[in-house]
Amino acid sequence: MRFATGMVLIDAPHSALNMLGIDESLADRNVTRVKTFRRGGKRYPYVSPQAWRYWWRFTLKEHFNWELSPLYREQKQVFTAANPLKYPDDDVFGYMRAFKKGGVNVTVTRVSPLKNTPLISVLPDRSSITVDEGYASRHEGDPVPYSQEFYSTVFKGAFSLDLDSVGRFTIVSKAGFKNLLTWEDVPRDKKGNPKKGTEDVVNEIREMERIAEELGVQRTEKEWLMPPEIRKTRATEAIKALRLLTGGAKQSQYHTDVTPKFVLLLNVDAGINPFISDLVFEEKGEIRFDAEALAKRLKDLKEVIPEGTKLYIGYDAGFVRSLGWDVNEMAKAVKEAGIEVFTGTVGEAVDEFAREIEAYYG
């Protein structure tokens, strides 16, 4: 059970990446808010987890030529094709399609191998958010005033990719684990043939079997397993996409580069993420990194850190300099805890980490 885990920091020096919309509680209704949440006595800006996943999918499409699963609408639901053999994003990001087609229950669900937190501001709103007062004046008549919030902060996010689940599709009658339709889902007539009205379901199953045959998928009663090369490619490209991350609202006005400026990457033989919680924190308006806390945490988890793996620290030199961080001190503290460390640029760290993932698949 191997998980590729990580933490990213995204520098947002003047940004509004994920907006809440117009604040209807105000009398003039012309203030556009950023999304925030409260923790303790403070409020923090954040980017929703679904927004981050949207950026991630888009980056995989743009830079790795992933053919994204098409979207369909049925009543009030929107869902993808639920075809993880053909569409790698259905495989890596999971899906839920729950409805009946022609009287046949065609519900299939897949727990996403890739899990991620929201991107949360390290600085609270009082230290990061301001309001821009503007006027729309490109029309005849009086200018129209409006206001919009934006922030200057650093966002922190964490993720975990279940390497064993990538390219592995289960057929278990349990929410999240019935990934594919089977012939048992097709109602039969008295002669044992599929009933009329089930043609779409029959065609979907036949198409899935055709693709499986073409790709060389191993099939058993309870699961289908894609070849190692395909699983390796999907897992490593999902990780490599981080360094090319593209997205965010208000780019025309604030032009924020959302590629991570600092990453921690580690393979772990457990469904945990050692980078969640306050390794990066605010202190008197400054953003700090607690290297000793990281070292102690990794030492405490050493039994689930695979032998021969490393902690990969990737950083942008200008970013860490602006925060006053010393990456060598971080690496030294972790090494003293008995964990091997690689340091380099974000691109170098991601590439080296991807090689370690490739080796896992053989």
Chain mean pLDDT for the chain = 94
Beta bridge partners of 340: 310
Neighbours of 318 (CB within 10 A): 10
* Contact status, residue 5 vs residue 273, Cβ threshold 8 Å: yes
Say what the pLDDT of residue 104 is: 83
pLDDT at position 77 is 82
What was the pLDDT predicted at 138?
A: 76
Task: For residue 87, give every residue at least 6 positions away whose Cβ sits within 8 Å of its Cβ, in sequence order, or none.
Answer: 66, 67, 68, 69, 80, 81
pLDDT of 83 strictly over 90: yes
- Which tens digits make up the pLDDT trace of 244-300? 999 999 999 999 999 999 999 999 999 999 999 889 999 999 999 999 999 999 999
Query: Within 10 A of 193 (CB to CB), how many other CB atoms are there?
Result: 11
Mean pLDDT of 172-201: 90
Q: Is the pLDDT of residue 26 over 80?
A: no
Percent of residues, the chain, with pLDDT higher than 70:
99
- As a whole number of angstroms, the distance between CA 156 and CA 55 comes to 15
pLDDT tens by residue, 338-348: 999 999 999 99
For the chain, give the number of residues: 362
- Please report the pLDDT score of residue 116 as a whole number: 98
Give alpha helix (H) positions in the chain: 49-64, 88-93, 199-215, 228-240, 251-254, 291-300, 317-323, 327-336, 346-361
pLDDT at 139: 78
User: What is residue 308's three-state secondary structure?
Assistant: coil
Question: What pLDDT is attached to residue 25?
Answer: 77
- Cβ contact 239:59 at 8 Å: no
**In whole angstroms, what is the distance from residue 349 CA to residue 344 CA?**
6
Average pLDDT over residues 305-334: 97
According to the model, what pLDDT value does residue 101 have?
77
Question: Per-residue pLDDT tens for 128-181?
Answer: 999 988 887 777 877 777 889 999 999 999 999 999 999 999 999 888 999 999
- pLDDT score, position 192: 87
Amino acid at 186: V
CA 51 to chain centre: 9
pLDDT of residue 147: 86
